[in-house]
């Protein structure tokens, strides 16, 4: 039998898949437990600690230089700090020190920033419990405490304070969000199913919300409806304005009480009340908000949920919240406080002036009408002290003053549209009648604008027909009551 030589078959060998590990990140150097809290002078303070921020590249960061991202997106430190942090390796990409501050950030990159963290103090007032069951905790959030860790706040947040009270392994799940400066009703889920259920109700707008605000001047009586769109002007500064190009927004307002100045009430000017010079009197005569004497307590029903919606709408109506450091700040918005302004193109000037607040000068509400406390609060307002941290050379801030811990805006009541649940808090102290004056100490059905919600929805669909609110008043007459300045 003949033998034949057969060439060996060449079978290409498949290369094995190579595992590409995810980007390296720097983990937090420490997670102190118990949390490093200490209470002092009515404030909850946190001892400084080392911490590492880790974040994936956001879509708007792609293709940008690392220093440009930090300088434009973060307000906590000056650009010089971020430049030094990048060059020294405290800011890294994918766990590796970058070659220069001009390093381009790409999709999928993980940026890490390690620093000696200094948290601002918050009020030592405890988080109140309105209701608790196996699924949900309804709390009364103190003013000045952020809900989630963000920016300069971490352990001084609702989530972390509640975790510190209930155990390291407990995971609170907030269902609604309140601004840091706002107090009032919040829902915290005990498990994901309960949190998702309530969050879906809020997203579907089947939850009625009522806020209480204290505003400058004599707010109009009746049902005042503001439907100016709201636009975010500066995410970095948290600034929003009434703009036609913004998102749809609608709020119903109803005055609960008006309290004139003591001079008007007593028929005479109290001794020592006005010690202004003639020059100061002439200056104040040019400030439109100075002519709005006294203050009003106003019930606010937001039908949409835009950021700062109530604050922006009250500013637009000419009655901003009287201690609002942004929307009632003459140094930022000028003598008119932007009343009725939905068209001006001065946003860049506004941003520039607002960015200076709280650094070299006090971030105060210039229309703050508690005149007897004004000078005291100026001295106590949070600002840079000129001192540096001995560990990291971070500029140090003084403790915040009373008006820095919150504004006169309170989420008083949340109610299910179907009537399955209804939670509310008492009126906050600043909404009660001042000493020597009479006024409502609670809300009543007669002053309740919640019944208007459904009818306002009808009004939006059919503006041609005047509709009654059941009290004889026409909703067509409940449009915004304000006069354009000048």
Instruction: List, by residue number, the catalytic residues.
Output: 179
Half-sphere exposure of residue 288, counting CA atoms within 13 Å on the CB side? Answer: 18
Spatial CA neighbour of 182 closest among 58, 332, 368, 307: 307
Do residues 410 and 428 touch, judged by C-beta distance below 8 A?
Answer: yes
**Burial environment of residue 88 by CB neighbours within 10 A (0 to 12, 13 to 18, 19 or more):** exposed
Is there a contact between 299 and 443 (Cβ–Cβ < 8 Å)? yes
Q: Which residues pair with 239 in a beta bridge?
A: 234
Find how far residue 116's CA is from the centre of its chain.
Answer: 25
Does 34 sit behind a cis peptide bond, omega within 30 degrees of 0 on the bond before it? yes
Could you tell me how many helices (H) and strands (E) the chain has, helices first? Answer: 11, 20
Cα separation of 364 and 401, whole Å? 10
Residues 18, 21, 22, CA angle at the centre, nearest 5°? 140
59 neighbors 129 (Cβ within 8 angstroms):
no
Q: Which two tokens stand for residue 360?
A: 């070299």
Are 364 and 379 in contact by the 8 Å Cβ rule? The answer is no
Q: 289, 330 in Cβ contact below 8 A?
A: yes
The tally of CA atoms less than 13 A away on the side-chain side of residue 465 is: 10
| E strands in 152-195 | 173-174, 183-189
Beta carbons of 249 and 230 less than 8 angstroms apart = yes
CA 91/CA 390 separation, integer angstroms:
21
Residue among 55, 63, 70, 57 nearest 104 (CA): 63
DSSP state of 140: E
């Amino acid at each position: 039998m003949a033998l034949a030589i057969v060439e060996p078959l060449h079978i290409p060998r498949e290369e094995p898949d190579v595992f590409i590990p995810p980007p390296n990140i720097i983990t937090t150097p420490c997670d102190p437990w118990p949390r490093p809290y200490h209470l002092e002078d009515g404030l909850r303070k946190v001892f400084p600690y080392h911490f590492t921020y880790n974040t994936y590249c956001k879509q708007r960061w792609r293709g940008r230089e690392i220093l440009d991202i930090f300088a434009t997106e973060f307000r906590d430190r000056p650009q010089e700090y971020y430049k030094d942090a990048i060059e020294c390796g405290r800011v890294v990409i994918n766990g590796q020190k970058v070659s220069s501050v001009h390093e381009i950030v790409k999709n999928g990159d993980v940026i890490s920033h390690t620093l000696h963290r200094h948290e601002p103090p918050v009020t030592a007032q405890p988080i109140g419990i309105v209701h608790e069951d196996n699924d949900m905790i309804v709390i009364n959030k103190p003013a000045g405490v952020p809900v989630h860790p963000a920016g300069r706040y971490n352990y001084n947040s609702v989530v972390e304070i509640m975790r510190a009270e209930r155990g390291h392994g407990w995971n609170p799940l907030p269902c609604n969000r309140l601004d840091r400066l706002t107090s009032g009703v919040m829902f915290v889920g005990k498990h994901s199913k309960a949190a998702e259920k309530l969050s879906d109700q809020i997203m579907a707008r089947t939850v009625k919300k009522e806020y209480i605000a204290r505003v400058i001047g004599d707010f109009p009586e009746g049902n005042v409806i503001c439907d100016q769109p709201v636009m975010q002007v500066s995410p970095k500064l948290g600034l929003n304005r009434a703009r036609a190009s913004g998102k749809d927004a609608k709020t119903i307002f109803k005055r609960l009480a008006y309290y004139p100045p003591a001079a008007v009430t007593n028929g005479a000017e109290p001794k020592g009340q006005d010690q202004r010079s003639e020059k100061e009197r002439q200056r104040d005569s040019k400030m439109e908000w100075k002519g709005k004497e006294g203050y009003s307590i106003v019930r606010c029903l937001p039908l949409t949920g835009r950021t700062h919606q109530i604050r922006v709408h009250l500013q637009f109506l000419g009655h901003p919240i009287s201690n609002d450091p942004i929307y009632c700040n003459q140094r930022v918005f000028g003598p008119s406080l932007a009343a009725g302004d939905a068209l001006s193109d001065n946003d860049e000037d506004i941003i520039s002036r607002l960015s200076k607040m709280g650094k070299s000068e006090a971030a105060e509400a210039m229309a703050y009408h508690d005149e007897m406390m004004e000078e005291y609060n100026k001295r106590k307002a949070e600002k840079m002290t000129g001192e540096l941290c001995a560990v990291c050379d971070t500029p140090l801030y003084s403790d915040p003053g009373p008006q820095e811990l919150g504004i006169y805006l309170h989420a008083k009541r949340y109610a299910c549209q179907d009537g399955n649940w209804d939670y509310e808090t008492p009126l906050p102290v600043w909404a009660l009648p001042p000493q020597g004056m009479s006024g409502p100490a609670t809300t009543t059905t007669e002053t309740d604008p919640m019944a208007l919600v459904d009818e306002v929805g009808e009004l939006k669909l059919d503006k041609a027909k005047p509709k009654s609110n059941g009290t004889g008043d026409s909703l067509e007459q409940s449009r915004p009551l304000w006069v354009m300045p000048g």
